[in-house]
Structure 1
Amino acid sequence: MRLKFLLLSLVFFSGLNLYAQDYFPNNDGVNTENTNYTIFKNAKIHVDPTTIIENGMIAVREGKITAVGKNISVPKNSIVIDLKGKDVYPSFIEIYSDFGMKKATKAGSENGQPQYNASREGYYWNDHIRPETNALESFSFDKSEAEKFQKNGFGVVNTHLADGIMRGTGMLVSLNTAGSEGDRILKDRSANFLSFDKSVKSRQSYPTSIMGAMALLRQTYIDAAWYEKGNISNKDLALEALNRNKSLTQIFKTDNLFDELRADKVGDEYGIQYLIFGSGYEFENIAEIKNTNATFIIPLDFPEAYDLENPFMANNVSLQDMKRWNQAPSNLMQLAKNDIPFILTTQNLKDEKKFRENLLKAISYGLDKKKALAALTTTPAKFLGEENKLGVIKQGAWANFLITSGEIFDKETVLFENWIQGKKVVLENMNTENLEGKYTLAVDGKKYDLEISGKPNAPKAEVKLGDTKIKSKLSYSDTWMQLLLSSPDSTKTEYTRLVAKVSEGSNKINGRAILSNGQETAFTATKSADSTKVDKKKEDDKEETILPIVPLTYPNMAYGFKELPKQGDVLFKNATVWTNTEKGILEKTDVLIRNGKIAGVGTNLNAGKAKVIDATGKHLTTGIIDEHSHIGASAINEAGQNSSAEVSMEDVIDPTDINIYRNLAGGVTTIQLLHGSANPIGGQSAIMKLKWGSSADGMIFPDSPKFIKFALGENVKQANWDSKSRFPQTRMGVEQVFTDYFSQAKDYEAAKKTGNYRKDIEMETLIEIMNGERFVSSHSYVQSEINMLMKVAEAFDFRINTFTHILEGYKVADKMKEHGAGASTFSDWWAYKYEVKDAIPYNAAIMHNAGLTVAINSDDGEMSRRLNQEAAKSVKYGGISEEEAWKFVTLNPAKLLHLDHRVGSIETGKDGDVVLWSGNPLSIYSKAEKTLIEGAVYFDIEKDKELRKEIAQQKNMLTGQMLSAKNGGAKTQPATKKEDQKMHCDTLETY
């Protein structure tokens, strides 16, 4: 289509006039602006990722593109630039940056004590909520940093102050180093930024965990909506800003794959679709990533290989980290293949020069080039509301474009110029001819063999005279070539100097030579063939770059499954079955599992199409249930307040914790993931089935009852650390916390009934407790506090469901029975702190004999995989029968969790969660050979042996790849050991 280029009126161009600030007074005399057109012709124009104009033209005036087409009119006095077939692309857009931002000043400490209250008046109650932050107030243009972006092809950056959970608005800045701030600032409110990271400007403790940050975000959104309706009498500048920012793109910074999903979860709850800054490991859970319906900002920051030359140090590197190094370059290909939209960023790169290298690497691993270009141009432009002005080459858009020597994602392509708002930034001289090839060089009666290789802007020469190699040095700049030749006689310091202006497209170079004796003469270099060195180098590069990709597993680490376990029909034949029912232990009995449920218990059962397992001589039990566990979590405590009823352990499930697999190997199928004991009122529990390889949501026990953790004793009154600033400090204060909060909850419930109330997640949880909709499991030791909590509960008309630890339970078993509480205790722990000095190993037996429902729990990732042995200790200490002792880790915890209608015994209709043991399950010599959950095998001792061999083989292969990478010059990182954080009741998240 032929486009007509019209000289439009001044009225039209006033909207395009970048520098015409006519209202500024002029005190410098006559100052004429250049309003001429710049015309680029004979260009291959990439209008957008899918549209190309061959032999096209572009007109630019006053920072904007005024016309694009095959043939446009050229006004008089235009500057015409012939691009001679070069490619033109839109300049890139950096959507996530802290470019030009002054670093936030870190708050000082005060006597080393935590700060529990906000430090700002007129703003939200939490200092880490800062939506009123305006990036403009902290911005100062950084020319040196801008030039780094320019060299990578970027024309604009979206920058913000990276501080806080709600970080406020960013700004869109042109990287035009020739303009003023007035020219460069395209938008002073470009997007709203969030993260899970606290502000360094405040010492306020809450939140201390990811789950606390999620709860804080939820409550803030609720409060903002309440404030917007005019229901809050005080002025809150933060909530006003949050409501003002709602219409902007919401960009959420995360640090890992789980946080990406957590951020999307919060957004979905409040109807917000975040633009999520990702991890680069989305390929590990591509299905869940796709289900977010989010667009992801992906850093081009691939992990470095590990230095594995020392075989002993090499053992420190996990298979997961080794696999990620191998697989990460394919991440973008996987996103594109699954139609998950993404934007690329330079953020997280320690060396900006790695950007292009890593981008080309991703393309070599299968990333579609059109999608790569879209991720740098049209997609970020759309989210910034600038789709008609940035990321495209079209009329009315900013004159932000790149001039290249060829296809932009070709390794040999040179980026010549980056035009930003119509201002040229020269990166490489684009008049450079490609001298690559073989030449016959004739000078002073001699004929040399000259071979030139390398990039056009940095060629290298190799010169021979017959069989003698001549030392030489070649330089080339702005169409002028200089070649220095040493004397063929290496004993002489004589040189011939050649200089020539290279003609465009010519196969012959003619120039002048200054001989070693000072005489001047002519020389010619006639091209005879292409150089062979470049092609060989390209082939070598290809072989070094693309590595065989290790298969993905679920989870993507040691002992992960190639395919997730599938539910199937299984018939166990001739087993010794521990039913946990009135039938007791049945010899030579069959158990049929069909459709995930126990379908039959008896003899000579019909298998049908079920898989038959000969269990002769073996014992079949229901899966072990751990009532008090801390495995499979990213955080355990939210310690920032004395009540954290608003937080939920379901938010911080870590399905890749290796302890899940180890627990399956110990016959554990269900756990209650409890909050820790940092505060009297802890967080909401997560009841999980240990479906190794599943997502976090996939591990949550479906339709399970709701629980919460309370705590008593030394931890909550902070006896174990030096804190003098948070209430409570005494056991008396602990009681008052419960009384105060439940009194508040009663008042809240009364207000709620009026219909005019501010929703409070914490109070909603406490109401659930009082109404019997959420059960309490309380950390406890000393009898006086156990009595106290039962009395407080009764005063507010609810009951404590379970006292956990309960090491003085034998003293108050009668009162617990009267109250209606159960007990989940340790088998024989004592003397590990002062308040357990009266613990005895007969505790479980005494409470059981008093008529309580008693369970043995772990509270420990190591102990949890041998709970069968912990149960056996009650046979020794207290004379409990084997059957009853086994119920301590199966049926009884199921009763405490109100799940005994689903799990805890082997009877028809219950979930097919069973364990096949090599012998008596209470024996220290017995092993769990197979562990099934709902009919799917999640642990098999024979499969485990195979996995161990596969792990060794994979590590060996990846070690070879990393050693080859190091030998090829790749930068490596040391093989240092990473210690996993061990989770216990008093663990604080590394946050």
Structure 2
Amino acid sequence: MRKHLLLLLLAVGLAQSGLAQTTFPRNGVYDERPNLYAFTNATIVVDPKTTLQNATLLIRNGRVEAVGNTVSVPAGAVVMNLQGKRIYPSLIDLDSDYGMPDLPPRRGGGLFNTPPQLESNKKGPYYWNQAIQPEADAGLLFKVINPKAEELRKLGFGAVLTHAHDGIARGNGTLVTLADDRENTVVLRNGLSQHFSFSKGSSGQNNPNSIMGVVALLRQAMYDADWYKKNGPAEQANLSLEALNRAANLPAFFEAGDKFGVLRADKIGDEFGRQFIIRGGGDEYQRIDEIKATGATLILPVSYPQAYDVEDAWDADNVSLAEMKHWEMAPANPGMLAQAGIPFALTSSGLKTRTDFMANVRKAIENGLTEAQALEALTTRPAQLIRADDLLGTLAVGKLANFIVTSGNLFAADNVIYENWIRGKQYILANRAIADLRGTYDLNITPQAGTSNLKLLITGNNPDKPDFGVTANDTIKLTPKVAIDNNLVSMQVALDKKQPNALTRLTGYRNGSTLQGDGQLPNGQTVTWSATLSKPFSASATKADTTKKSTMGGLLYPFVGMGNAKKPQPQTLLIRNATVWTNEKDGIMTTTDVLVSNGKIAQVGKNLTAPTGASVIDGTGKHLTNGIIDEHSHIALFSINEGSQSSTAEVRMSDAINPDDVNIYRQLAGGVTSSQLLHGSANAIGGQSALVKLKWGEPADGLLIKGADGFIKFALGENVKQANWGDANRVRFPQTRMGVEQVYMDHFVRAKEYAKAWNAYNAQSNTPKARGKNATATLTAPRRDLELDALAEILAKKRFITCHSYVQSEINMLMHVADSLGFKVNTFTHILEGYKVADKMAKHGAGGSTFSDWWAYKMEVKDAIPYNAALMAREGVTVSINSDDAEMARRLNQEAAKTVEYGGIAEEDAWKMVTLNPAKLLHLDSHMGSIRPGKDADLVLWNNHPLSIYARPDYTIIDGAIYYSQTGDEQNRVAMQAERARLIQKMIQAKAGGQTTTRPTARRQRMWHCEDIEGVMAEGENK
């Protein structure tokens, strides 16, 4: 017992003496010093809420031993007097790739000129898709890279959370210091976090090639991990799924890219009960209410766009209003989020020049962020988010001695970071022994050198590298050549501008607040000189940013041209004396009133009384209809095809909605109020549709029609078998029309078996015996398959098919497959040969959504005729006219009118082809598509007959809110022009004030069509 006690005391004594506990032998003698330092007389910022004046920080063996105003300095401590200096906790960056290997090159080529890689090339028991690599271990990958560490140390960072920025599931993160030691002492904690993104990274697999494919892949991987945890190891080994499960309880970080990505990532987290910490893109202020509602903590970059060079009027036309406003408002993003109560940490990642970091943090402070909030976002909050606040974030006793020594306020423009201490190891960044000479001095040279009233100006943000200037008679500005060595100063200056080579040479030293010494005039005469401080230096004396004091514009909803200062709200409206196209048995009613209340049609009749507070709209001489419904649209989407596999039923177009697409506004101006946003036609079984109302200014989820049935896109023809994809694409099945049929047969047979397995499992688990104690342990749930989920929903009549189609043989084929397997085709869209099979369609129960007169754009449409819609309608098929084109959708009223010309369709029936009939095809006719009490108040007031080429909407109303009006449009155009003019002038002033500018680049918005493919971006590319 006594022996054990002696050993214990010896171990304690060794630890207190500072003897390092290391597993590494040393080649040489051990020289272990006590590592005991006392920093006295400093202003110590212990944490964002606690600042101590004239305090002492005591550190021993890399830890904080004491901090306060009454700390006793023990014998043997190295004492450093920091009078006039400050100490802050070192900063922490949570989005770093420091020490990680460079990303492997992404597989070259494009989708159409290289053979597709359908399967993973990664060897080993891993996930089927290379973009899912949660097994990546940052601790194993990490290597100390001192030049990069030094770059971060100079910014004040002492520790970073680093991970491999490659793929959708990126593996774990490791917390490391920025010391230049061996990895064993630099790594603080490994496996500290889990990381995800929307970028497929270096993966060369075709899947995914769209943002909705990325989301679907990640969702499936998470469901697979859950299945694997319960049942998987008995069937297969999968290191990727094991890694996902192992990290499931760690803080999870998601690199979202922008405001849309933040909301998209949080939606994924909600599905799996995860609250992600989300790395944004700096534009979150544009959707601040929705982002606050997520409850997520954000990681914010401080990388701001440069001003555009808009001095040339043609160049200015290439810059959108959204780009101009974001340039102005981006620095206010952190402050606006802080004001809204949204927690965040700041990161230096994303900066083109990392040395801009602190200057950009200052910009955020100048635009509303407080210094305390900034410090919190760089110290305490990052430490808390990764559960490392026992080590980092403050200078509390027991924490690591990670701190910086500064000349003053960390966020002041003239602040200098002298030293960065990491685990008690000193890294000198600037010589704090050098005196700060900055200020304005009265310069006297005796005898007088022919120039009177001389001033010596020493300025600049860095006292180690100040800027020098000399003025004569308050007007003449001279530029001296100056060298400083500690307190010694030497200067050469041409006091006569007319003789630039006639140099006066002065040498001297600092004596208190005076510089003095000897020198020689150009003629060799010896002089004495002195420079007496007359005005201390202030950072505000430096050249001001000419943009800081100007007024900042406000938010727009959405944040693009023609956005509104406020989101439209439902109103009580009375529309009087209009010609009302009811689409009901009442037909077209003249001089009729329609009352709108609470987003619904309240009354239809003559001489209605306006309720108190109602807005009255005069409809005299005008036509009131319900809004146009586009059954087939691709607007408001970031991409439309996940064309990587023959079936991608798992993807959802709701994951790809772009609510800022100006085509929403343009189509409101054409009377469209609702659209089915369809997947493209790159595969036999495409993705799930999004049914939306065109509520300009709402976020993506705010556009979705609540309670709508689920739809999905199927496709037939050339696109599906890749006949027009080039010779490189001869790999993916199917390559023939017969193969397309087999795809449907195979997938629906599998879906039947899948549904059967789940039904059996659910029935068994719901029996009283199964619900008994420990009974469910014997039940084995089938693996959740998102693709088969969607197909099983079709079989269960819970999801409905819209099928891209042209040729009668293929239309007959799909109806035959559907009849044989027990499902229905809800709608054949395009269907330009529908007139050939209209009787069979009517018998099957399929509707037809077609173009009025499109043909001759490929071989499949050579038999198209403009009588198609009329002939299908006469066979009893529910027919609608669709757009499939952003431009055509603005004039669907005219497309409907063509059926009157081609086929003699009655005007009311023609109008129903773009209103009530698409509502029926989309199962929305119970509350949309006609004007009757109780239905949604989706209305358009036209200035003319709605089928006329001269008709245009005066008002477009959705759920009782005015989303478009002629007067509002005119006002918005005036406001947009004025805002552009203001911002152009501000950018011109910014350039004149010395800001770096960038040349505008003309960009055209992409208009999607069925066959368009958009690849998922690699890391670092514009999302």
The answer for the alignment partner of 1:166 in structure 2 is 169
Choose the corresponding residue for 2:489, options 481, 485, 488.
481
The number of aligned residues is 975
The answer for the alignment partner of 2:64 in structure 1 is 65
Choose the corresponding residue for 1:688, options 682, 692, 703.
692
Query: How far did residue 32 of structure 1 move?
Result: 0.9
Preserved contact between residue 172 and residue 186 of structure 1 (Cα < 8 Å): yes
Work out the CA distance in 1 between the residues paired with 2:920 and 2:96.
53
Query: How far did residue 754 of structure 1 move?
Result: 2.9
> Does 2:482 align with 1:457?
no
Deviations for 1:911-940, whole angstroms, at most 9, x for unmatched residues? 111100111000001111100011110110
The answer for the alignment partner of 2:893 in structure 1 is 868
The answer for the alignment partner of 1:836 in structure 2 is 861
Work out the CA distance in 2 between the residues paired with 1:492 and 1:649.
72
> Does 2:753 align with 1:751?
no
Q: Aligned AA for 2:85?
A: K
Work out the CA distance in 1 between the residues paired with 2:962 and 2:409.
51
The answer for the alignment partner of 1:740 in structure 2 is 746
Query: How far did residue 520 of structure 1 move?
Result: 8.8
The answer for the alignment partner of 2:188 in structure 1 is 186
The answer for the alignment partner of 1:575 in structure 2 is 578
The answer for the alignment partner of 1:252 in structure 2 is 254
Query: How far did residue 124 of structure 1 move?
Result: 1.1
The answer for the alignment partner of 1:3 in structure 2 is none
> Does 2:824 align with 1:799?
yes
Query: How far did residue 475 of structure 1 move?
Result: 3.2
Preserved contact between residue 778 and residue 804 of structure 1 (Cα < 8 Å): yes
1:549-948 paired onto structure 2 within 5 Å: 549-609=552-612, 610-722=614-726, 723-755=729-761, 756-948=781-973
Q: Aligned AA for 2:874?
A: N
SS of the residue 1:644 aligns to? coil
Give the unaligned 5+ runs of structure 1. 1-7
Work out the CA distance in 2 between the residues paired with 1:490 and 1:914.
81
Query: How far did residue 388 of structure 1 move?
Result: 2.2
Work out the CA distance in 2 between the residues paired with 1:739 and 1:364.
63
Query: How far did residue 174 of structure 1 move?
Result: 1.3
Preserved contact between residue 167 and residue 200 of structure 2 (Cα < 8 Å): yes
Work out the CA distance in 2 between the residues paired with 1:897 and 1:190.
48
Query: How far did residue 694 of structure 1 move?
Result: 0.6
The answer for the alignment partner of 1:302 in structure 2 is 304
Change (3 A) 1:123 1:470: closer
Work out the CA distance in 2 between the residues paired with 1:458 and 1:204.
52
Change (3 A) 1:104 1:492: closer
Name the stretch that deviates more: 233-242 or 107-116: 107-116
Work out the CA distance in 1 between the residues paired with 2:35 and 2:676.
73
Change (3 A) 1:15 1:893: farther
SS of the residue 2:354 aligns to? coil
> Does 2:326 align with 1:324?
yes
SS of the residue 1:429 aligns to? coil
The answer for the alignment partner of 1:74 in structure 2 is 73
Work out the CA distance in 2 between the residues paired with 1:15 and 1:272.
42
The answer for the alignment partner of 1:27 in structure 2 is 27
SS of the residue 1:930 aligns to? strand
The answer for the alignment partner of 2:768 in structure 1 is none
Preserved contact between residue 630 and residue 676 of structure 2 (Cα < 8 Å): yes
Change (3 A) 1:329 1:739: same
Deviations for 1:797-838, whole angstroms, at most 9, x for unmatched residues? 121111111111101111111111111110001111101111
> Does 2:401 align with 1:393?
no
Name the stretch that deviates more: 507-516 or 677-686: 507-516
Preserved contact between residue 547 and residue 986 of structure 2 (Cα < 8 Å): no
Work out the CA distance in 1 between the residues paired with 2:12 and 2:594.
83
Preserved contact between residue 18 and residue 63 of structure 1 (Cα < 8 Å): no
Preserved contact between residue 508 and residue 515 of structure 2 (Cα < 8 Å): no
Query: How far did residue 516 of structure 1 move?
Result: 7.8
The answer for the alignment partner of 1:142 in structure 2 is 145
Deviations for 1:659-680, whole angstroms, at most 9, x for unmatched residues? 0001100000111111111111
Deviations for 1:595-632, whole angstroms, at most 9, x for unmatched residues? 11111111111112221111111111111011111111
The answer for the alignment partner of 1:230 in structure 2 is 231
Name the stretch that deviates more: 9-18 or 132-141: 9-18
Q: Aligned AA for 1:861?
A: A
Preserved contact between residue 677 and residue 986 of structure 1 (Cα < 8 Å): yes
Give the unaligned 5+ runs of structure 2. 1-7, 762-780, 1017-1023
The answer for the alignment partner of 1:96 in structure 2 is 95
Change (3 A) 1:595 1:144: same
Deviations for 1:881-908, whole angstroms, at most 9, x for unmatched residues? 1111000000111111111110111111
The answer for the alignment partner of 1:195 in structure 2 is 197
Preserved contact between residue 447 and residue 528 of structure 2 (Cα < 8 Å): no
SS of the residue 1:188 aligns to? strand
Preserved contact between residue 693 and residue 704 of structure 2 (Cα < 8 Å): yes
Change (3 A) 1:465 1:164: closer
Preserved contact between residue 459 and residue 475 of structure 1 (Cα < 8 Å): no
Work out the CA distance in 1 between the residues paired with 2:694 and 2:559.
16
SS of the residue 2:787 aligns to? helix
Deviations for 1:178-215, whole angstroms, at most 9, x for unmatched residues? x2222212123232111111131x32111111111111
Work out the CA distance in 2 between the residues paired with 1:123 and 1:931.
53
SS of the residue 1:864 aligns to? helix
SS of the residue 1:332 aligns to? helix
Change (3 A) 1:17 1:975: farther
TM-score (norm 1): 0.95
Name the stretch that deviates more: 457-466 or 880-889: 457-466
Q: Aligned AA for 1:59?
A: L
SS of the residue 1:564 aligns to? coil
Work out the CA distance in 1 between the residues paired with 2:422 and 2:300.
24
Q: Aligned AA for 1:603?
A: K
Deviations for 1:244-264, whole angstroms, at most 9, x for unmatched residues? 112322111122211111111
Query: How far did residue 160 of structure 1 move?
Result: 1.5
Q: Aligned AA for 2:229?
A: E
SS of the residue 1:852 aligns to? coil
Preserved contact between residue 429 and residue 478 of structure 1 (Cα < 8 Å): no
SS of the residue 1:431 aligns to? coil
Q: Aligned AA for 1:50?
A: K
Query: How far did residue 319 of structure 1 move?
Result: 0.7
Preserved contact between residue 581 and residue 931 of structure 2 (Cα < 8 Å): yes
Q: Aligned AA for 1:219?
A: Q
Work out the CA distance in 1 between the residues paired with 2:573 and 2:522.
92
Work out the CA distance in 2 between the residues paired with 1:465 and 1:644.
77
Query: How far did residue 17 of structure 1 move?
Result: 9.4
SS of the residue 1:530 aligns to? strand
Query: How far did residue 23 of structure 1 move?
Result: 4.0
Identity, % of aligned positions: 48
The answer for the alignment partner of 1:5 in structure 2 is none
SS of the residue 1:567 aligns to? coil
Q: Aligned AA for 2:718?
A: E
SS of the residue 1:879 aligns to? coil
> Does 2:287 align with 1:285?
yes
Preserved contact between residue 459 and residue 474 of structure 1 (Cα < 8 Å): no
Work out the CA distance in 2 between the residues paired with 1:470 and 1:162.
51
SS of the residue 1:734 aligns to? helix
SS of the residue 2:318 aligns to? coil
Work out the CA distance in 2 between the residues paired with 1:494 and 1:674.
77
Change (3 A) 1:238 1:68: same
